[in-house]
Structure 1
Amino acid sequence: MYLSRVIPLLTLYGLVAAAQSSNYMCVKATVNETTVQYALASTGSQTVGWMGIGFGSQMDNTQMVIMWSNSDGTITLSQRRGDGHNLPLVDSNPDRVAALVEAASSTSTSNTTFTFTVDKTNATTQRIIFGFGSTNPRSSSVDADLEEHTGYGSFELNLDGNITSGHSSDPLQPFERMIVAHAIVCILGFLLFLPFGSLLARYVRTFTPMWYTGHWISQFALAGPLIVVGFALGVQSVSSQGVPHLSDDHQKWGTGIFVLYLTQCALGAIIHWVKPKKRPGRPPQNYFHALFGLIIIGLAFYQVRTGYVTEWPNTTGRGDVANGANTVWYIWIVLLPFLYLAGLAFLPKQYRQEADARKGRINSDEHLMTDVPQQYRD
């Protein structure tokens, strides 16, 4: 909102402005004849510890400007160079020296803005990575240690006079294409084939013993490769950005759900191949397996939503995903439970069939015992 009001005013004075926003911070570039002024403004969603940007598409070897406020009201400007997954090191000889603009900066809690200028280049676009940390370094030294970022991402600013704000239409970066592929295959695995396998077991098992074949094909043979590939793409997309793994909730939950899926597959195999010798009723692990599978699908719904609502805009700076994703998500999260609950109508028939099968086994065992001589029965 603030940027949308300021940018048109800047153009009236012969300046060119471009801006991009994430959930944590906004970056505005104001271009004049010799310099570019960058303003890093907090959105107020979290307390500002530090904010920074880098001039490139990934952390490794990218020149950065990182800023934070101090207890005495001053602002530290630290120019650093990315070092892979490690803490960026102070750059004593940057290509462009950044200068703090105190008059355009504010350390107010409700309106934290850090502003600096660098020399202008001939480039009409600038690829930017950004980072937001919620923990203050508590030191005014330019080489102070920084806590890991709360949010990060990248985007491209258009500096040629065409005002941009909030969304970016530049081609997808390689890591962004991996994120898109990661999302597609994980959705197919977790929200298509896993639910289909559950519904297959719920509806078909009372009509044919072949239900198990379709169940494991859907949930393991089809969903499994997609889930493994999707997880690998997610890991690689983080690695290609040069940022730490498991740095936000989406990455942590994704890893956890992946482990839960592998556990569920192992549990299903054990239930199918390792049968108790004495089975007076339905084994408790069968109930657990069904409930555990439903929990995994429920967590997958949550994970998919955080992926397109939070992770994508925060990581790429491209703004929100089209509302069609919301529409499909809401339809599926309502329809799927309805279909499963409707399938519970087959439970009485299933229990009768299982009881009849147990009686058949008992009668068969008793018949065998009558054929055994008395001396071998005792």
Structure 2
Amino acid sequence: MKSTFYKATFGLAAALYATLTSADVTSRQVGDSNDIQFQWGVPESSASSSSGAFYVQLSAPVTYQWVGLGIGSRMAGSHILLMYQDGNGNITLSNRQADGHSMPTTTTDGQLELLSGTGVQDGRMVANVRASDLNLQLGGQNSWIAAWKTGSSLDSTNTAAQISRHDGHSQFSINFAQASISSDANPFENSNGTVNNPSSGGNNNGDSSSDGDDDSSSGSNMNTIILAHGIIMTIVFVAMYPIGSMLMPLVGKWYIHGAWQFVAYLMMWAGFGLGYVYAERNGYFFNQTHTRMGTIVVALLGLQPLFGWFHHSQYAKHQSRGIISHVHIWYGRALIIVGIVNGGLGLQLTGNTSGRYMIAYSVVAAVVFAAYIGSIGFGFLKRRRQDGGAEGRPGSALSTAAMNLNSRRARSVVAAVARRNVPVQQMRGFIAPTVSRRADFVQELYLKELKAYKPTPVKDSDAVGQVQTFSTPATPQSPEETDLAGSLQDH
């Protein structure tokens, strides 16, 4: 009788203990099917002193590769609790810090302790955690973020294991005033040692209006924005800008080149706008290499249409390239290369450093680069062929610009002669009996100049200063012939 009474009393006390420690926990469901659940419990002593420990539970189906819960309203600077399977029927809890939109790294900040009930049970990963020394308002409102990735298990006990980019994420607020528990004990474990069912137990205060706005629906929108940003900027820098540059040497029509590049220019600004929205909302705009380099490249490319207009004006006026032409060409080439490199940094930022996306991006960029180099060589040979090699011959006195200028002058002279009344020859065709009127413009021009030629008369004074004046030399003296015999003897 006494034994039965003691058992009943003990069971009632255990039930009362479980009620006091777990009834007021606050929960939040997120995930692809709201099948990920987080629960919080804050001891009254911690809430009143705004310091101390609190309890949090992470629970998700094993179909997820990893699940993360972060403190803060955005990823940059967030303290993240990351959970994944260790391959031995248990879970690994990784304490990490996020510096931007890149894989969070391990940190020693905060104190985390895994409690009983942690493990893989009934097809779910469960982590019961006692946490302290974290930047939270234990008696008030706190912002949280969550992220998840579906896929095969990581099966790793390494707390610094590499993880892939998340499939989805959520942002929400939790009011710790509604998560108060009476004692500093694990609120997620019943007296018999079984874990509360995360899919049915707990007070879902996280869904109440007092806890703030639930931004889980914006996770898919943000994924769409960053995906659109990546696709647009890849098309612009890997395809459209290089192809637009190849159009000039291949087609030679400046208006086709200009129209193509202008469309790419507008797409670039659209892609930059999407990237700015995503980076600004996640708090890492201009905080790491990809966003800094991308902003600078886009800003510098804003000057390229102006350089292109100056280059066109220079070429239309002088029929040759000038300094501004080479600035336009090499300035654009350099920025395209930097933009392609920055695209690789963007893929690295998303965690796709070794996947098929990085491989495909690198292969396409290499093919386009090879085609672009080929178009440059083709354009050079084409210009040499059109110029007849005059620019490349040593000692040549005529440049391409001078030849074009002389050609235009000759055409204008011929046109002027054609407008004059010149005799017309009447010729009968060999087959057609009609008489055609034909004028030989070159012959008429030659005869006109020949008739108008008048040589300058030669005068005697023209030789002055050109030749020396002739003067008769003096008469030489005759030698004396008095001693002919002596001279003969000497000889």
The match for 2:257 is 215
Change (3 A) 1:28 1:364: closer
The match for 2:139 is 93
Aligned match for 1:240, one of 275, 278, 281: 281
**Contact 1:195 1:336 (8 Å CA) reproduced:** yes
> Aligned to 1:173, what secondary structure does the other structure show?
helix
Change (3 A) 1:39 1:230: same
Q: Could you say which structure has the larger radius of gyration?
A: 2
The match for 1:40 is 95
The match for 1:361 is 405
Q: Report whether the alignment pairs 1:203 with 2:250.
A: yes
Q: Report whether the alignment pairs 1:77 with 2:109.
A: no
Q: Which runs of 5+ in 1 are unaligned?
A: 1-14, 32-36, 53-66, 68-74, 80-90, 98-125, 129-154, 206-210, 314-319, 372-378
Q: Report whether the alignment pairs 1:156 with 2:148.
A: yes
Deviation of the 1:177 alpha carbon: 1.4
Deviation of the 1:289 alpha carbon: 1.7
Aligned match for 2:378, one of 323, 327, 345: 345
Aligned match for 2:226, one of 157, 179, 183: 179
Q: Matches of 1:188 and 1:213 in 2, distance apart?
A: 21
Deviation of the 1:226 alpha carbon: 0.9
Deviation of the 1:367 alpha carbon: 7.4
Q: Which whole-Å deviations, capped at 9, do the CAs of 1:147-171 have from their partners, x for residues lacking one?
A: xxxxxxxx2389xx99999344448
**Contact 1:127 1:156 (8 Å CA) reproduced:** no
Q: % of aligned pairs identical?
A: 16
Deviation of the 1:276 alpha carbon: 8.4
Q: Matches of 1:195 and 1:26 in 2, distance apart?
A: 41
Q: Matches of 1:348 and 1:30 in 2, distance apart?
A: 60
The match for 2:298 is 258
Aligned match for 1:306, one of 325, 345, 357: 345
Change (3 A) 1:16 1:346: closer
Change (3 A) 1:170 1:46: closer
RMSD between aligned alpha carbons? 4.6
Give the aligned residue type for 1:178.
I
Aligned match for 1:330, one of 359, 362, 383: 362
Deviation of the 1:27 alpha carbon: 3.4
Q: Matches of 1:226 and 1:197 in 2, distance apart?
A: 13
> Aligned to 1:245, what secondary structure does the other structure show?
coil
Query: How many pairs were matched up?
Result: 250
Q: Which runs of 5+ in 2 are unaligned?
A: 1-57, 61-65, 70-74, 86-91, 112-130, 170-218, 388-398, 417-491
The match for 2:310 is 270
Q: Matches of 2:345 and 2:246 in 1, distance apart?
A: 25
> Aligned to 1:78, what secondary structure does the other structure show?
coil
> Aligned to 1:286, what secondary structure does the other structure show?
helix
* Structure of greater relative contact order (alpha carbons < 8 Å, 6+ residues apart): 1
Q: Matches of 1:162 and 1:332 in 2, distance apart?
A: 31
> Aligned to 1:325, what secondary structure does the other structure show?
helix
**TM score, norm. by length of structure 1:** 0.53
Deviation of the 1:298 alpha carbon: 0.8
Deviation of the 1:249 alpha carbon: 0.9
Q: Which whole-Å deviations, capped at 9, do the CAs of 1:127-147 have from their partners, x for residues lacking one?
A: 42xxxxxxxxxxxxxxxxxxx
Deviation of the 1:335 alpha carbon: 1.5
> Aligned to 1:306, what secondary structure does the other structure show?
helix
Give the aligned residue type for 1:176.
N
